[in-house]
Structure 1
Amino acid sequence: MRAAAFSLVMASFAASAADLRLKPFKDDLFAYPTLRSSSDNGAYRVVDYREMRDINQRDEIPERRAHGRYVSLGVRRQQQDLSLEGIGHVAVGATSGARIITVYLHGQGGSRKQGIDDFTFGGNFNRIKNLMADNGGLYLSPDFPDFGEAGADAVARLIGHYAERSPGAPVFVACGSMGGALCYQLADDPRIVPRLGGLLLLGSMWNDGYVKSAAFKARVPLFLGQGSRDTVFPVESQEAFFRSVLAAAPNYPVRMVRFETGTHGTPIRMTDWRETLNWMLSAR
C-alpha cells in the first residue's frame, strides 16, 4: 500500500510539473553568457564567466548592489517575514494554492535574509522571487539551526507545511555552498522526496551516496553549478560526482554548468533560474 501511495503521489506531481512552464522575466539580462563547450548531449556545459563583465558591469556597487535594470521591486509587496514552529523564514508569493515552490537554503554564515536580498548576487535572488510570484508560485528562504539532522528536520517540516497547503505543487530546493549538506539529507527523507521537483547545488558539495538515495531512485532532477576556481569545493570533485551519477544511470536527469574562472559564489550569481527550473519541470 505504501509503495502504491508513493507512486500515486509521484504521478500527481509529474502531471502538475508537465503542465507548467515559467514565463520569461528579464531573460535577456540573466541568460548565460557565451557557451564555451558542451558534452553529454548538453548535460555538461562550460559557460564563459568574466568578473569585469559579470560583476563590475552588472553591479552599481560590485558584489553589493546590482544596477536597477536587473531588479523589479514590486515583488516586495508579496513578501512576508514569518515564523513556523520557531522556524524563521521569508515567504514570497502564494502561501497557499501555489503552483510551484522554490526553497533556497543558505550556506555557512548566512541567514534567511541572504536569499531575499534584491541587490546582491547581481539581482539573481530578485529574479527567482519574481519568477515565483509571476507564475503563481511560492519562494521560501528559511533560517535553520544547523547543517545536520536538526536543520534538515526543520527544513522538512517547513516544506511539508507549505506543500500541504499547495497540493500538487512540485518543490525545488536550491542549496548554496554548505547548504548542500541539507539537500543531500532531504534527498533521503520520505516526507520530502515524493514532493521534490528538483535539487540545485550551487557552489556546493558532492555526495557519493546520492546514487543510493530515494531521490535518485525517484529520478529527481539534479543541477550542479560550480565555479572553476572554487577553492572551497573544487570543481574537479564536483565533475567527478556528475560523472558518477551518469555512470550509475546513463539517462539520469542531471546537468552541470561549469562557470569558467568563476569562484565560490559565482553559481548563485550566474545560474539561470528560469532555464534550470523549466528543464526540471520537463524532465519529470
Structure 2
Amino acid sequence: MTLLPPGVRRLLIAACASLAATVAVSAEPLKPHKDDLFAYPGILESRDDGAYRIVDYREMRDINGRDEVPERRAHARYVSLAVRRQQQNLSFDGTGHVAVGRTEGARFITIYLHGQGGSRKQGVDDFTFGGNFNRIKNLMVDNGGLYLSPDFPDFGEAGAAAVAGLINHYARNSPQAPVFIACGSAGGALCHRLAKDADLAGRLGGLLLLGSLWDDGYVRSAAFRAKVPLFIGQGSRDTVFPVDRMEAFYRAVRAAAPGYPVRMVRFESGTHGTPIRMTDWRETLNWMLSAR
C-alpha cells in the first residue's frame, strides 16, 4: 500500500469532509413557508404506498375562498412580497428570464416552464394561482436557492436548447445544486425533451408535470435511466390533457421500473390549471430530495 505524505493526506481528508458537508446541506429538506395554507386540503384516496393520491379539490373553497379576486388576486395572507427584493430580469445567450434568489452558490435551483400563450411573467406572478408561485419563490430564497422563470422560442428543439443552456449556465455557478424542472401544460413538451438530454440528467433533482402531457418514450430517456424523481399533478376534469392518459403514463413508468421514484396527485374535480394552483411545492421537492 502506498502511503501519502501527511500534508497530502490532510488536504484529501479536508476536501472529502467539505464535499460531504456540501452534499449533506443540499440533501436537507426545505424549511416551511406558509405550510398550513398550502397543504393539500384532504386526501380522498391513497394507493401504491402513497405514490398515487386523490386530493379533494373544491372551486368554492380553493379559488373563491382563497382569492380576493377569483383567479386574479390571492388574499394577502397567501403571499410574502419581500421576496421581490431578490428578483431580477436578466438575459443569458438571448434567453430572457426572471431570476429570484442566489445566482451563484445556490443550494437548489427550480425552473418553471410555462405553457402555450404564457411568458416568463406567469411564473413570477405573486397573486395568480392562489399565490403558489409566490410560495416557490419564497421557498427558494428562504433556503438559499434560485428560482428561474424564462421565456423560450418554442416548445421544440430550439426551446429545449435555450432552456438547457440557461440551466447549465446557472448549474455551473451552483455545481452542487439539484435542478428541479416544473412544466405547466404544453411546457411539458420541453420537460420530455430535456429528459432525453444525457448531459443534463446528472444535474436533475426532479421533474414536475403540472396539468401537462405524457410521453411514451420517457422510459427510454436519460432521466429515467438516472432515476430522476417524477411528479405528475393532474385535474380530473382536465379537457386539454385527459387525466386517464396521465394515469396510464404513471402506471407505465412504474411498470417499466418497479420502485421508480414517481408520484401522481389527481385533484378531484380540478381542471387544467388546478395543479399549478394546488401542488404542494415544499412536500414535492422534499420528497424528491429524499429520493435522489
TM-score (ref. length: structure 2): 0.92
Aligned to 1:39: 47
Structure 1 segments, 4+ long, off by >4 Å, are none
Q: Supply the RMSD in Å over aligned alpha carbons.
A: 1.3
Change (3 A) 1:92 1:213: same
Counterpart of 2:69 in structure 1: which amino acid? I
Aligned to 1:260: 268
- Unpaired stretches in structure 1, ≥5 consecutive residues: 1-10
Aligned to 1:80: 88
Aligned to 1:152: 160
Deviations 1:89-109 (A, max 9, x none): 000000000000000000000
Aligned equivalent of 1:101, options 103, 109, 113: 109
Kept in 2, the 8 Å contact 1:17–1:282? The answer is no
Using the TM superposition, give the Cα deviation of residue 167 of structure 1 relative to its aligned residue in structure 2, in angstroms.
1.1
Specify the SS of the correspondent of 2:44.
Answer: strand
Kept in 1, the 8 Å contact 2:26–2:108? The answer is no
Kept in 2, the 8 Å contact 1:102–1:174? The answer is yes
Aligned to 2:226: 218
Using the TM superposition, give the Cα deviation of residue 20 of structure 1 relative to its aligned residue in structure 2, in angstroms.
1.9
Aligned to 1:117: 125
Aligned to 2:278: 270
Aligned to 1:63: 71
- Tell me if 1:185 matches 2:196: no
Aligned equivalent of 1:198, options 194, 197, 206: 206
Deviations 1:200-229 (A, max 9, x none): 000000011000001000000000000000
Instruction: Report the number of matched residues.
Output: 273
Using the TM superposition, give the Cα deviation of residue 250 of structure 1 relative to its aligned residue in structure 2, in angstroms.
1.2
Kept in 2, the 8 Å contact 1:16–1:169? The answer is no
Deviations 1:53-72 (A, max 9, x none): 00000000000000000000
Kept in 2, the 8 Å contact 1:156–1:191? The answer is no
Q: How far apart are the structure 2 equivalents of 1:15 and 1:249? A: 26
Q: How far apart are the structure 2 equivalents of 1:249 and 1:15? A: 26
Identical residues among aligned pairs (%)? 77
Kept in 2, the 8 Å contact 1:29–1:70? The answer is yes
- Unpaired stretches in structure 2, ≥5 consecutive residues: 1-18
Counterpart of 1:172 in structure 2: which amino acid? F
TM-score (ref. length: structure 1): 0.94
Using the TM superposition, give the Cα deviation of residue 19 of structure 1 relative to its aligned residue in structure 2, in angstroms.
2.8
